[in-house]
Amino acid sequence: MDILTLFIVIPVLTIIGIVFSKDHKQVKWTAAIGMGLQLIAAATLIILFLMERKAGNMAEMLFVKDLVWFPSLNIHYLIGVDGVSVAMIGLTAIVIFAGIFASWEVEELHKEFFITLILLSTGVFGFFISLDLFTLFLFYEIAVIPMYLLIGIWGSGPREYSAMKLTLMLMGGSALILVGLLGLYFNSNPSGGQLTFSLLAISKVHIPVEIQKFFFPFLFIGFGVLGALFPFHTWSPDGHASAPTAVSMLHAGVLMKLGGYGCFRVAVFLLPEAAHELGWIFIILTTISVIYGALGAVWQKDLKYINAYSSVSHCGMVLFAILMFNKTAMTGAVLQMISHGIMTALFFALIGMIYGRTHTRYINEMGGLMKVMPFLGVAYVIGGLASLGLPGFSGFVAEMTIFVGAFQNVDTFHRVATIIVVSSIVVTAVYILRVVGILLLGKINNEHYEHLGDAKWYERVSTGVLIFGITAIGLAPLWLSEMISGGLGPIIQRLLMASPIH
Amino acid sequence: MINFGFTVWIVLIPLIIFVLVGFFGNRFKPVVSGIVGTSGLFVSMALSYYTAYQYFFNVPRVGDAFQKLIAYNTVWLRLTEKLHIDLGVLLDPISVMMLIVITTVSFMVHLYSIGYMKGEKGYERFFSFLSLFSFSMLGLVIATNIFQMYIFWELVGVSSYLLIGFYYTKDTAVAASKKAFIVTRFADVGFLIGILILSFTTGTFDFITLTDPNGTAITQGGGIMFLGLSTMTWSMIFVFMGGAGKSAMFPLHIWLPDAMEGPTPVSALIHAATMVVAGVYLVARMFPIFHFSAPVALDVVMYVGAFSSIFAAVIACTQFDIKRVLAYSTMSQIGLMMFALGVSGYGEEAGLGFMASMFHLFTHAFFKALLFLGAGAIIHAVHSNYMNEMGGLRKHLPITHITFLIACLSIAGIPPLAGFFSKDEILAAGHEKSLFLFILGLTISALTAFYMFRLYFSIFWGKEQNYHHTPHEAPKVMTIPLMLLALGAIFAGLLPFASFVTSDGKPLAMHIDLAIAIPAVLVGVFGALTAMVFYRKETNIPEKISTALGGFYRAAFRKFYMDELYLFITRKIIFNYVSRPIAWFDRHIVDGSMNGVSYVTNEVSTRIKSFQSGQLQQYAWVFVTGAVALALAFIYLWTN
């Protein structure tokens, strides 16, 4: 069996294992072992990939496998990876692994919980390896739908409302995507003959500009909804606030990245001329996302809302960078997806752990927690510093790559947008330090908190893995950045050909 | 020629200690952390002195000029084909000089802290942060390219944040650390934008390429004009913004006085001797670009420096918290350094200002660190920061007293102490530019002497207060660094500094011009004597004067309302008028319209669903009514 299919098979086997598990403990351990294997598989994939590249295999996609599964519409199970998807698979494996350990204390319907959670991750993995648009969409839906159950059943607060809102908005996005994908399919062979869903085949075709311009907004907005594009981001604060810890982690950490990845891999890659012509609209929207999300976070009092708005800002930067249409900025976009993915998963994990102890998420009701839970406190500070782009953590690498890349566009419009986006890092510092100051530092303002315990071993595993991720990338970013930019050749070439200056 | 590869260890040793003490410090007795940290810094210091010796005496010069050497370099991140961020070690006169300053002061502070922090909670945390800071600061000065500098620039910022907020259960300390970080962060955005413009225009981050007077970066000129200034000028102004933030130049200085909430050794190391001069170092590092490509930006440096200097000196005369007096004094002295850079030319005698600035940076590090550590010993003894709660301490703290006096004499510019020589060079450089600037310099000198001796006499002379317990001298581990630094404050000025550090690397002959030295000393003595008359014995002169000055005194005492202004902008405007409306807008307008869509959908479906009632009579009735209505409509259309 090829290594990529393994990423579907392992979760499915894990799910089967969970079904036959007897008690809570067995369920947890099955999930942990399964996702541990998945993490090892991801590491192996990265190594194999780098070795292939080093050996001189410069094919656009590696480990390609093609099986027909619905011949009449020419739908294939077509999989393969380049540097970008390998990086995203690595991210997903880390986040889901940490997520299992962060859900160690889920009691209610634990079996169903872990099954749904892992099912969701299966969708994500499938999405990242798919090269057939139909399969890609199928996996996309597999990733989105379990979310409804996870929030609706295991959530907190107004969970039915949030689950409904999140699902409906994302479904709205899916509908747009579906229209866009069908548009691509029916124009995939302008000379007549067999239509195709294959991403690689469509990327070799020239679709007329007018048609591109019609379908581009469907795809970009459709994926953009999931990537928290302003003004379609409002599912995110409510959704996160009601979601259980691991779901928030996975959702903000990975699922939102499907949006960015889709915009990049489908919308921009397949419709480059339209991207050039209509990009300015989305540059405005993403610039707003970045600064607006950051400013919105300053005022919030609920930890999850703060992090949700912060995610709007950071994910806005991903889409912004994609629209800069050059290799540096796009490398930055992918780096930012990975960096933000790990970072925000860390935040949500910590928020869940803190909430589990204090039973509140309002920062004003807490204070001085550093003293009673130093491990969680330090982890939160590390997450915060990574989020505000401190060198030595992944956020810095990603942001600087984006800024330098964005600055390669010389016209005033791009310059102004870039400078606004750059300025957002001050606002980020403001809200991060505000939270750290109120939540962790100062005096303990509630005597009940004095007896709270610090992190348990599984919580340390969960946060430790994520902290390791952001620090490792932050200290030695070169290999990752080279791996990603190596995969960007085709898209950059297509954009160059489509560029009006060309 | 010797291989300078070992210089990497000067930087790495503090990093290793940070990691070791940070992870394992709490498994041992606290003092172990102190000893490990101090000995690590000692090794770094020894290596720095060895490097300096080798660099200045054993490296062949080219055309009499000291060369810039790359001792180590590696690519850390590749951004575009041309731009890549490297990490490495650049040795040139100013970076070697900075290595000496940082490791020396840092070692002294480490040693002193073993005594000062004794019994504090978080002792090992303190030492690990101190090492983190030393690592970051050393990495900053040896940067081979501007992006490396930016990386370490941010790291010193965060170490400063962590150390100011060391007493994290104290609300004022938390607020101060936050303020310091955010204000400097704001400035750093300017720095970053400056880097982006600069690197885009010149196609490189590398310092050697950038600052070579005959290199492409400088010879290609200022670039296109934008809003009346060239691209290069804009980029340098932005870069200087970063420097002004770190170096607490007006109007970005407001974080520095508050930063005194940190433990006193931290103030000595970070907020007096090293981090706050990073801005000066940055301008010095980029000096050829400022001089050749962006003279307007260099003028900005001069004006900002001069104004900050006099502004801070005035405020320093009115404060009562001894650490705040010293903080404003630091700001004033750094202003002088900036000012000296601003008036400087490039090469030979014209580069006098550059040399003077670096020289003052060098001597200032010793006497200002000494002043802060002395202040720490005093605070340690009387448990107060306020000079009006002190007095007559000279009998109780003999060593602190003498060393503090030496530092005051040195900063006041009394010969033959170190401060005299460096300040004299700055005044000479100012004099070359214009008489007005010279007089401004003299005024600042007079004010400096006044506020320093006001401090000195209020603490050590005057009336003895009722202390809780009799103040006693600090332990040896604290007084030894004081004495060592006092040696520096006395003798550092006698070094032939101009033979080592100049704008173009070629040695310069240093001489004392009596026409400048005599008035400089006279105003210093005048300032000191005035302070003596006012504060040696209790008098009512200061009160009379402050009453006579009225509004001006009150304004200076309230630091010219800068804090209030900032609070107004951040709290009122940004928080209340930007962030809050955005949060509201998001909840009610953006989200409201999303909810609106679902509400409309819901309503529509509620209305429609009543059609599907399942009652045959109703269906029949609707069918018949519809058919009749259609028939009527058709007939109507038909007949017309």
pLDDT of residue A453: 76
B490 vs B468: CA distance, rounded Å: 34
pLDDT, tens digit (0-9, with 9 covering 90-100), for A207-266: 888 888 888 888 999 898 888 888 888 888 888 888 888 888 888 888 888 888 998 888
pLDDT of residue B222: 65
CB contact under 8 A, B158 and A385: yes
Residue of B18, B84, B178 to mutate for A, most A C-beta atoms under 10 A: B178
User: In this model, does residue B43 exceed pLDDT 90?
Assistant: yes
A449 vs A460: CA distance, rounded Å: 20
DSSP state of B494: G
Query: Distance of alpha carbon A252 from its chain centroid, rounded?
Result: 6
CB contact under 8 A, A426 and B185: yes
Query: Which residue in B76, B182, B196 is closest to A404 by CB distance?
Result: B196
Residue of chain A whose alpha carbon sits nearest to that of B199: A404
B580 touches chain A (CB under 8 A): yes
Buried b (16+ CB within 10 A) or exposed e, B226-254: eeebbbbbbbbbbbbbbbbbbbbbbebbb
Half-sphere CA count of B409, side-chain side, radius 13 A = 18
CB contact under 8 A, B583 and A392: no
Model's pTM, two decimal places?
A: 0.90
CB of A93 closer than 8 Å to CB of A41: yes
User: In this model, does residue B83 exceed pLDDT 90?
Assistant: no
Residue ranges of E strands in B6-146 = 69-78, 84-91
Rounded mean pLDDT, A346-360: 87
3-class SS of residue A191: coil
Rounded mean pLDDT, B15-30: 86
Band (B50; pLDDT cuts 50, 70, 90): very high
Band (B204; pLDDT cuts 50, 70, 90): confident
User: In this model, does residue B225 exceed pLDDT 80?
Assistant: no
Rounded mean pLDDT, A127-151: 88
Half-sphere CA count of B360, side-chain side, radius 13 A = 32
User: In this model, does residue B1 exceed pLDDT 70?
Assistant: no
B140 touches chain A (CB under 8 A): no
pLDDT, tens digit (0-9, with 9 covering 90-100), for A9-36: 888 888 888 888 888 888 888 888 989 9
A403 touches chain B (CB under 8 A): yes
Rounded mean pLDDT, A437-465: 82
pLDDT of residue A75: 85
pLDDT of residue A462: 87
Q: Which residues in chain B (182-201) have CB-CB distances under 8 A to chain A?
A: 182, 185-186, 189, 192-193, 196-197, 199-200
pLDDT of residue A335: 93
B578 touches chain A (CB under 8 A): yes
Band (A497; pLDDT cuts 50, 70, 90): confident
Rounded mean pLDDT, A314-319: 91
CB of A213 closer than 8 Å to CB of A225: no
pLDDT, tens digit (0-9, with 9 covering 90-100), for B363-422: 999 989 999 999 988 888 888 888 877 877 888 888 888 898 999 988 888 888 888 888
pLDDT of residue B102: 92
Q: Which residue has the higher pLDDT, B533 or B247?
A: B247
Band (A356; pLDDT cuts 50, 70, 90): confident
Q: Which of A234-243, A399-408, B355-364 is predicted least confidently?
A: A234-243
DSSP state of B62: B
Rounded mean pLDDT, B147-176: 89
Distances (CA, A) of B292 to A213, B192, B244: 49, 21, 21
pLDDT of residue A488: 86
Number of H helices, E strands in chain B: 27, 4
Q: Which residues in chain B (31-90) have CB-CB distances under 8 A to chain A?
A: 75-80, 83, 85
Q: How close B400 gets to chain A, by Cα (Å)?
A: 33
Cβ neighbour number for residue B167 with a 10 Å cutoff: 18
pLDDT of residue A1: 57
- Mean pLDDT of all residues in chain B? 85
User: In this model, does residue A502 exceed pLDDT 60?
Assistant: no
DSSP state of A476: -
B579 touches chain A (CB under 8 A): yes
Q: Which residues in chain B (89-128) have CB-CB distances under 8 A to chain A?
A: none
pLDDT, tens digit (0-9, with 9 covering 90-100), for B427-481: 888 888 888 888 888 899 989 998 898 888 888 887 777 777 777 888 888 888 8
Rounded mean pLDDT, B477-493: 87
pLDDT, tens digit (0-9, with 9 covering 90-100), for B508-566: 877 777 888 888 888 888 888 888 877 777 777 777 777 777 777 777 777 777 777 77
Structural domain boundaries in chain A: 6-498
β-pairing, B225-226 vs B84-91, is unpaired
Percent of chain B with pLDDT over 90: 22
Rounded mean pLDDT, A193-198: 82
pLDDT of residue B239: 92
Contacts with A133 (C-beta within 8 Å, 6 or more apart), sequence order: A181, A184, A185, A197, A198, A199, A202, A266
Q: Write the ipTM.
A: 0.90
CB contact under 8 A, A165 and B151: no
CB contact under 8 A, B189 and A426: yes
Q: Which of A56-60, A268-272, B13-17, B301-305 is predicted least confidently?
A: A56-60
Rounded mean pLDDT, A25-52: 89
User: In this model, does residue B569 exceed pLDDT 80?
Assistant: no
Residues in chain A with CB shorter than 8 Å from the CB of B196 are: 403-404, 407, 418, 422
Residue of A289, A404, A424 to mutate for B, most B C-beta atoms under 10 A: A404
